[in-house]
A and B are shown apart, each in its own frame.
Chain A
Amino acid sequence: DAGVIQSPRHEVTEMGQEVTLRCKPISGHNSLFWYRQTMMRGLELLIYFNNNVPIDDSGMPEDRFSAKMPNASFSTLKIQPSEPRDSAVYFCASSHKPHFGTGLLGGYGYTFGSGTRLTVV
């Protein structure tokens, strides 16, 4: 199990450029989440998908942000145009819905990727 795979690990781009972040969830997980982490605001949920369908995008800061999940094994988060205030670490996480009470946790345990550190200059 390779876990949740994000790419790139680091991205430095100039203001106004388009940025695309990529995520491969764990096979068999049916939910995918995009989070943004900053010192000031902590972990913010941007959008999440269930079975490839966007369920809640209320955390997407503005129209410059968009996310897609064309199939169960791939998702993208795009920022166009990028701005310096978008600089943050972006995490993708996936989860499944186990039967209640099975396993150690019996809940919606997320597995996070290692994140993409985005710097917009």
Chain B
Amino acid sequence: QQQVKQSPQSLIVQKGGISIINCAYENTAFDYFPWYQQFPGKGPALLIAIRPDVSEKKEGRFTISFNKSAKQFSLHIMDSQPGDSATYFCAASSGTASKLTFGTGTRLQVTL
């Protein structure tokens, strides 16, 4: 059972544009929502995370928007750069367990 649905599967954005990746979850017990960034040949690396007590979190060019009632959250990459080209995974976990459930990933390509 897929508990975190991620879209789109792939995304092409021009340099300087905004990249938006969306995720939806089903389990209302989830209370921690991180995003991971993975470059080819590397393991995923933690990028930014949010808890449901806030609706938005920003770190540099990366912003998570969270809609608890809709059970959706999204990653926005402002002023996208070619170096942002990677695969992005959303994930979720609940306070009662330390394991993360990952989305299926979005391959982002930022073109010049």
Contacts and interface: CB of A to CB of B under 8 A. Distances in A.
Nearest to A96: B98
A43 interface: yes
B43 A105 contact: no
Interface centre among A43, A56, A91, A95 (most CB of B within 10 A): A43
Interface of A: 4, 31, 33, 42-43, 45, 48, 50, 55-56, 91, 93, 95, 97, 104-115
A45 B99 contact: yes
Contacts of A115: 42-43
Given A93-B43, A113-B43, A107 B34 contact: yes
Given A31-B98, A50-B98, A97-B98, A109 B43 contact: no
Contacts, number: 61
A108 B45 CA distance: 13
B22 interface: no
Given A43-B44, A115-B43, A108 B104 contact: no
Contact of B41 (A42, A48, A114): A114
Interface in B34-89: 34, 36, 41-46, 48-49, 51, 59, 89
B99 A106 contact: no
B93 interface: yes
Interface residues on B, range: 20 to 34
A33 B45 CA distance: 14
A72 to B, nearest CB: 15
Nearest to A47: B99
Contact of A112 (B43, B98, B101, B104): B43
B88 to A, nearest CB: 12
A105 B49 contact: yes
Contacts of B25: none
B43 A107 contact: no
